[in-house]
């Protein structure tokens, strides 16, 4: 005996169709009544949906732009975090890293009896001709460090 899955599936489909037929016949009159009402409902809803889409378009556009801006900002921030940055000042036969100068400026400020936590802002001015850097802490305290 040869087993054929197609024949089994065909028989199963026929059995299911035959079993469902009485229920289909009972439901058909209701479907015929509901179909026009549903179509009427869709026809009435379509202008409202179009109006909502039209009114929402500017907000959607702004939201999309805001999301893109935020995404770009996050990408830029991630790039900064993941990117190792070093800046060197080269002059004559000398080379000094700017982060080293900043650290030395902070250390010099602390060595004068101040606290590191007191630093809210610090500006460092590198002057290779003087072989020195000048710093200003919190727009009031000044100092000088030599290379």
The confidence band for 64, taking pLDDT boundaries of 50, 70 and 90, is: confident
Contact 135, 108 (CB under 8 A): yes
In this structure, the answer to whether residues 25 and 64 fall within a common structural domain is: yes
The pLDDT assigned to 120 comes to 94
- Per-residue model confidence as pLDDT tens digits over 28-54: 888 777 888 888 888 888 888 888 888
Task: Tell me which residue range forms the domain holding 107.
Answer: 88-146
Please give the tally of structural domains in the chain.
Answer: 2
Query: Is the full-model pTM beyond 0.75?
Result: no
Residues 52 and 124 in one domain: no
Asked if residue 119 and residue 62 are part of one domain, the reply reads no
Give yes or no: residues 68 and 100 share one domain.
no
* Extended beta strands in 1-147, E state: 88-91, 94-97, 122-127, 132-137, 141-146
- Residue keyed to tokens 């009427």: 40
Last residue of a domain, one of 68, 85, 102: 85
User: Are residues 45 and 23 part of one domain?
Assistant: yes
Separation of alpha carbons 115 and 118, rounded Å: 5
The residue out of 41, 61, 85 marking a domain boundary is 85
Residue 72 · residue 85 · CB < 8 Å: no
Same domain, 54 and 74: yes
Q: Are residues 107 and 68 in the same domain?
A: no
Per-residue pLDDT tens digits for 80-100: 676 777 888 888 888 889 999
Local confidence band at 131 (pLDDT 50, 70, 90 cut-offs): confident
Burial (0-12, 13-18, 19+ Cβ within 10 Å), 105: buried
Structure tokens at 32: 């015929």
């Amino acid at each position: 005996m040869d087993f054929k899955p197609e024949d089994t599936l065909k028989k199963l489909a026929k059995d299911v169709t035959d079993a469902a037929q009485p229920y289909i016949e009972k439901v058909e009159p209701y479907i015929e009544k509901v179909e026009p009402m549903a179509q009427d409902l869709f026809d009435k809803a379509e202008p409202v949906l179009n109006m909502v889409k039209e009114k929402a378009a500017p907000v959607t556009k702004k939201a999309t732009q805001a999301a893109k801006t935020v995404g770009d900002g996050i990408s830029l921030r991630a790039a900064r975090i993941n990117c190792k940055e070093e800046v060197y000042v080269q002059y004559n036969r000398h080379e000094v890293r700017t982060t080293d100068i900043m650290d030395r400026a902070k250390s010099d400020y602390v060595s004068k009896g101040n606290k590191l936590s007191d630093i809210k802002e610090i500006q460092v001015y590198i002057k290779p001709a003087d072989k020195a850097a000048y710093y200003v802490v919190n727009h009031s305290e000044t100092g000088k460090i030599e290379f």
